[in-house]
């Protein structure tokens, strides 16, 4: 009885020392989401946002009205390799959740074994066997067999909720990969739309350069006629020939750009090169969609990249908590139940052959904690890193919308002025050609007018493309596209 009391005191002392040692676990860095807390009320101080009007919540099928563009987006969503890779990241994260969840339940396994053993005669075990009868009148043999089979169970009791914390962290990481997939969707739709509008712009620029080539051919013919009539010189003829050759070279450059742009779209759609179906005639008359920004705080709920960064921050905080709990003692319980005998025929003799055990073990780090400290410090640093990443994502999202809203207004004014410039230069071409025919203007005036008109038309097409693409970009920046 006295020995039992001493044993119990010994166990209690060990348990107390483990608990006291665990009290020295370091504290995690407390992080605050100051950027989130201080987000402005509006994107523009001069204009008041309306929380009820937010283009970012509009489904992409409603936002895009061009059926050819819609068909391309649908193809990209089915076949894009980047998206497929992201979907596998989700599956990997889902498996991580199942793995962490599995650690909360006992591990049960079954096994069988067989072996032989010979104990030395001059050992306590050997001396005991020599003086023991295994059966009446039969001594224990020197070489003794052992046959066993049964069930074994191991369970780490989650007394500090460390395993539950690790599972919660895995769940947060899994949800962040889902938001990552949504962000890839949003980016993919933006890329397809931007490239589609760039392709339409190249189609229209090709038409313009072909019209310009016809104009240069007529001007060259006129210059030759005027040379024969001594109203112009050979220099004028050569200048028009050079301009015509330059225009034809530009045509081939644009054709190559069209081929490359088509293949960029095909790559996004995950398919080999093929012609992109589109209607170029309505490009210049397309009116961009009206965009409503809502209020900045809605970005936190709409933008997948912000939600992804927020969930990664949550996961990193839970990782720090789990790493801190590694300093605490752990309780493991193991149990076995089965049959064991030195002869296979004795395994069926029950209850004599039944063997069982139940062991509980409380263990914790006492002296060498360098590895645990390193893991904790790593988790704490990653938590701070995740906070900075979250703050950066919010800030960049706000700046994206603010810049693009300003760009929408400025590009609209730019397009209007370019339209006026193009109209005026088209009229000047007719005037210059008429004066040239009547020998009242020289060839340089005609060339300069034609070049200026060409440049203005090309820039007008680019302005239309930027106008449409900017609206797509702000739609994506508001969190649109993935719904």
| Cα distance between residue 43 and residue 396, in whole Å | 13
What pLDDT is stored for residue 444 in this prediction?
Answer: 66
In this structure, the dihedral spanned by the alpha carbons of residues 357, 358, 362 and 367, taken in order and rounded to 10 degrees, is: 10
Asked if 395 and 255 sit in the same domain, the reply is yes
| 351 or 274: which leads in pLDDT | 274
Q: Tell me: do 114 and 216 sit in the same domain.
A: no
- Residue 42 is predicted with a pLDDT of 85
The whole-angstrom separation of Cα 348 and Cα 292 is: 80
Instruction: Report the C-alpha gap between 327 and 20 in whole angstroms.
Output: 11
Most confident of 47-61, 286-300, 340-354: 286-300
Mean pLDDT to the nearest integer, 421-449? 74
Average pLDDT (240-246) is 90
pLDDT exceeds 80 at position 442:
no
Assigned domain for 13 exists: no
Residues with Cβ < 8 Å from 47, sequence gap 6 or more?
none
Sign of the torsion formed by the C-alpha atoms of 168, 172, 175 and 181? negative
Mean pLDDT of 424-434: 78
The 10 Å Cβ neighbour count of residue 252 is 10
Query: 21 vs 143, which has greater pLDDT?
Result: 143
Burial class of residue 164 in the structure, from the number of CB atoms within 10 Å of its CB (0-12 exposed, 13-18 middle, 19+ buried)? middle
Residues 33 and 91 in one domain: yes
The whole-number pLDDT of residue 17 equals 52
Give the pLDDT mean for 218-226. 83
287 and 414 in a common domain: yes
| Token code pair at residue 58 | 């509009």
Residue 8 lies inside a defined structural domain of this protein: no
Q: Are residues 301 and 340 in the same domain?
A: no
| Across 48-72, average pLDDT | 90
Domain boundary among 363, 383, 406: 363
List the structure tokens of 153: 């169970």
Q: For residue 345, what pLDDT is reported?
A: 81
| Boundary residue ending a domain (363, 382, 412) | 363
Are 261 and 344 part of one and the same domain? no
d(CA 68, CA 162): 53
Scan for tokens 């919540």, then name that residue. 57
Residues ≥6 apart with Cβ < 8 Å to 50: 292, 294, 295
The rounded mean pLDDT for the chain is 87
pLDDT of residue 202 exceeding 90, the answer is yes
Percentage of residues of the chain with pLDDT beyond 90: 57
373 with 440, same domain: the answer is: yes
- pLDDT value of residue 448: 75
Q: Both 280 and 319 in a single domain? A: yes
Share of the chain above pLDDT 70, in %: 91
Domain that holds residue 127: 107-157+330-363
In this prediction, residue 363 has a pLDDT band, given cuts at 50, 70 and 90, of confident
Q: What is the mean pLDDT of residues 179-199?
A: 97
Residues 157-172 have a mean pLDDT of 93
Q: Same structural domain for residues 52 and 98? A: yes
pLDDT level of residue 475 (50, 70, 90 thresholds): very high
Residue 411 has what pLDDT? 95
Closest listed residue to residue 140, CA positions, set 167, 166, 112, 121: 121
**Count of the separate structural domains present in the chain:** 2
- Rounded to an integer, what distance in angstroms lies between the CA atom of residue 184 and that of residue 371? 37
Last residue of a domain, one of 319, 339, 363: 363
Give residue 343's pLDDT. Answer: 81
Query: Residue 153 domain-assigned?
Result: yes
- Cα 465 from Cα 197, distance rounded (Å): 6
For the ranges 221-230, 238-247, 441-450, the lowest mean pLDDT is seen at: 441-450
Does 310 share its domain with 412?
yes
> What CATH number is given to the structural domain containing 416?
1.20.1600.10
Report the CATH number that the domain containing residue 339 is assigned in CATH. 2.20.200.10
Judged against a pLDDT cut of 80, whether residue 230 lies above it is answered with no
CA atoms of 425 and 432, how far apart (whole Å): 10
Q: What is the pLDDT of residue 43?
A: 85
**End-to-end Cα separation, the chain, in angstroms:** 72
Q: Is residue 17 part of a domain?
A: no
Question: Which tops the pLDDT comparison, 472 or 8?
Answer: 472
Tokens representing 159?
């007394």
Least confident among 158-167, 220-229, 304-313: 220-229
The answer to whether 73 touches 189, Cβ cutoff 8 Å, is yes
Residue 123 banded pLDDT, cuts 50, 70, 90: confident
Q: Helices 443-477 and 234-268 meet at what angle, rounded to 10?
A: 10
> Are residue 130 and residue 185 in the same domain, yes or no?
no
Whether 115 and 86 map to the same domain: the answer is no
Region of poorest pLDDT, from 327-331, 363-367, 397-401: 363-367
Q: pLDDT higher for 123 or 464?
A: 464
The reply to whether 47 falls in a domain is: yes
pLDDT at 14 over 70: no
Q: Say if 1 falls within a structural domain.
A: no
- CA of residue 362 relative to chain centroid, distance: 42
In a domain, 119, yes or no: yes
Q: Does the structure show a pLDDT above 70 at 295?
A: yes
Among the ranges 195-204, 208-217, 290-299, 342-351, which has the highest mean pLDDT value?
Answer: 195-204
Mean pLDDT of 215-231: 82
pLDDT-derived band at 47, boundaries 50, 70, 90: low
The stretch 344-372 carries a mean pLDDT of 84
pLDDT at 216: 86
Give domain status of residue 2, yes or no: no
pLDDT at 214 over 60: yes
Looking at 229-303, list the stretches that DSSP marks H as alpha helix, in order from N- to C-terminal side. Answer: 234-268, 299-302
pLDDT value, residue 312: 96
* CA-CA-CA-CA dihedral for 284, 66, 469, 250, to nearest 10: -50
């Amino acid at each position: 009885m006295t020995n039992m009391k001493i044993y119990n005191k010994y166990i209690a002392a060990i348990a107390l020392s483990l608990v006291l040692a665990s009290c020295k676990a370091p504290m995690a860095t407390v992080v605050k989401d100051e950027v989130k807390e201080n987000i402005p009320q509006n994107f523009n101080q001069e204009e008041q946002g309306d929380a009820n009007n937010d283009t970012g919540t509009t489904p992409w099928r409603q936002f895009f009205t061009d059926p050819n563009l819609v068909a391309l987006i649908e193809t990209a969503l089915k076949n894009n390799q980047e998206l497929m890779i992201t979907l596998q990241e989700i599956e990997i994260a889902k498996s991580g959740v199942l793995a962490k969840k599995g650690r909360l339940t006992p591990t049960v396994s079954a096994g069988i074994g067989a072996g032989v053993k010979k104990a030395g005669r001059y050992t306590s075990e050997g001396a005991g066997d020599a003086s023991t009868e295994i059966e009446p009148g039969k001594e224990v043999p020197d070489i003794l067999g052992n046959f066993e089979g049964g069930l074994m169970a191991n369970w780490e009791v989650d007394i500090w909720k460390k395993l539950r914390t690790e599972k919660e962290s895995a769940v947060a990481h899994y949800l962040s990969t889902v938001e990552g997939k949504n962000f890839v969707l949003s980016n993919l739709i933006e890329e397809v739309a931007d490239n589609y509008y760039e392709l339409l712009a190249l189609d229209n620029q090709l038409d313009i350069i072909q019209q310009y080539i016809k104009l240069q051919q007529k001007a060259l013919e006129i210059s030759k006629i005027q040379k024969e009539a001594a109203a112009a010189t050979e220099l004028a003829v050569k200048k028009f020939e050079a301009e015509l050759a330059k225009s034809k070279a530009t045509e081939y450059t644009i054709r190559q750009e069209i081929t490359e742009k088509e293949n960029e779209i095909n790559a996004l759609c995950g398919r080999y090169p093929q012609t992109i179906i589109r209607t170029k005639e309505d490009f210049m008359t397309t009116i961009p969609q009206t965009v409503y920004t809502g209020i900045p705080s809605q970005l936190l709920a709409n933008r997948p990249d912000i939600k992804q960064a927020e969930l990664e921050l949550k996961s990193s905080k839970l990782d720090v908590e789990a790493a801190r709990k590694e300093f605490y003692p752990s309780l493991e319980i193991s149990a076995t139940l089965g049959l064991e005998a030195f002869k296979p025929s004795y395994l069926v003799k029950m209850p004599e052959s039944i063997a069982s055990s139940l062991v509980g073990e409380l263990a914790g780090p006492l002296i060498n904690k360098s590895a645990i400290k390193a893991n904790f410090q790593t988790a704490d640093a990653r938590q701070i890193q995740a906070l900075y990443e979250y703050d950066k994502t919010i800030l960049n999202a706000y700046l994206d919308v603010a810049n693009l809203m300003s760009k929408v207004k400025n590009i609209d004014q730019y397009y209007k002025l370019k339209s006026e410039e193009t109209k005026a230069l088209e009229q000047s071409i007719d005037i210059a050609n008429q004066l040239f025919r009547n020998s009242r203007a020289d060839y340089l005036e005609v060339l300069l007018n034609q070049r200026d008109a060409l440049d203005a038309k090309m820039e007008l097409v680019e302005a239309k493309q930027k106008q449409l693409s900017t609206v797509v970009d702000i739609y994506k920046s508001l969190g649109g596209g993935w719904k």
